[in-house]
Amino acid sequence: MFRVAVISLFPELVEAVTRVGVTGRAVERSLLSVETWNPREFAQDRHRTVDDRAYGGGPGMVMRVEPLGETIRSARASLPSGTRTIYLSPQGRVLDQALVEELAQAPGMLLVAGRYEGVDERLLENEVDMEVSIGDYVLSGGELPAMVLIDALARLQPGALGHAESASQDSFSADGLLDHPHYTRPETVVGKPVPPVLLGGDHEAIRQWRLKQALGRTWQRRPDLLARRELNEEERRLLDE
């Protein structure tokens, strides 16, 4: 089982992943566990304060070293050794499928979702192993990024996806291509028929058609992905056709 602990001031937001879709199914099948830790419960004062004004002035509040540090240490003690502590941050390494696959090798992960202007820098230096961003934009909290990471990881747990689905065929998976287009009933939609090859039952022809589509749309939409890999003979031929 892949074990995730999330430190958040809004645990109810993160817990939604345990109830729906692929992530919910992974939890139900004991392939994934998601527990939440709220730093407010570790605050010592009667107002359960977790933030304070920034030294040097300026707008916004900063999450204090304590009680967040106390929460991190308690959560870490409950997780298997080898679990990395990851702070979700717009300044971190930008998440991609390669990083998801790397993180999936561990027994679990401890995610720290920030709020306000972020977290006291000394806490990051002392308690955090890595920072991960979900893209070059700023959100108001790390909960949605944590949920993004949990979802991407859940898909990679063996048995998490249904029979017909396979993470290995998705975009950015082992072949490094975008996925091919998908069609379902009805056969014609506003005058657009399903590509005839998909109706013929010739599995080899379908495989080749899908590969050609995947190559074509990767070349059109994300040429940077193709630039990162060698084309094999079949792929070169299909692209040239």
Chain positions contacting ligand SAM, by CB under 6 A: 88-91, 113-115, 117-118, 133-135, 137-142, 145
Interatomic CA distance for residues 82 and 188, integer angstroms:
52
183 is annotated as contributing to ligand binding:
no
Minimum CB separation from ligand SAM for residue 221, in Å? 22
224 is catalytic: no
89 vs 218, beta carbon nearer ligand SAM: 89
56 is annotated as contributing to ligand binding:
no
Tell me how many degrees the CA angle 131-137-142 measures, rounded to the nearest 5. 45
185 is catalytic: no
Minimum CB separation from ligand SAM for residue 50, in Å? 12
139 vs 211, beta carbon nearer ligand SAM: 139
Interatomic CA distance for residues 167 and 152, integer angstroms:
10
133 vs 218, beta carbon nearer ligand SAM: 133
27 is annotated as contributing to ligand binding:
no
Strands, E assignment, 54-198? 61-63, 84-94, 108-113, 130-133, 188-189, 192-193
Interatomic CA distance for residues 133 and 117, integer angstroms:
15
96 vs 202, beta carbon nearer ligand SAM: 96
14 vs 160, beta carbon nearer ligand SAM: 14
CB 225 within 8 A of CB 198: no
CB 92 within 8 A of CB 131: yes
Q: Catalytic: which of 67, 145, 155, 175?
A: 155
Helix, strand or coil, per DSSP, at residue 10? coil
134 is annotated as contributing to ligand binding:
yes
Question: Which tokens is 153 given?
Answer: 């990881």
Minimum CB separation from ligand SAM for residue 118, in Å? 4
Interatomic CA distance for residues 205 and 106, integer angstroms:
39
Task: Please give the helix or strand (H or E) that residue 73 lies within, else none.
Answer: helix 65-77
Minimum CB separation from ligand SAM for residue 94, in Å? 8
Q: What are phi and psi of 94, to 5 degrees?
A: -70, 130
155 is catalytic: yes
Question: How many Cα atoms are found within 13 Å in the side-chain-facing hemisphere of 65?
Answer: 7
Minimum CB separation from ligand SAM for residue 88, in Å? 4
222 is catalytic: no
Q: Catalytic: which of 117, 121, 129, 202?
A: 117
114 is annotated as contributing to ligand binding:
yes
118 is annotated as contributing to ligand binding:
no
For the annotated binding site for S-adenosyl-L-methionine, the residues are 114, 134-139
Residues involved in catalysis: 90, 117, 155, 170
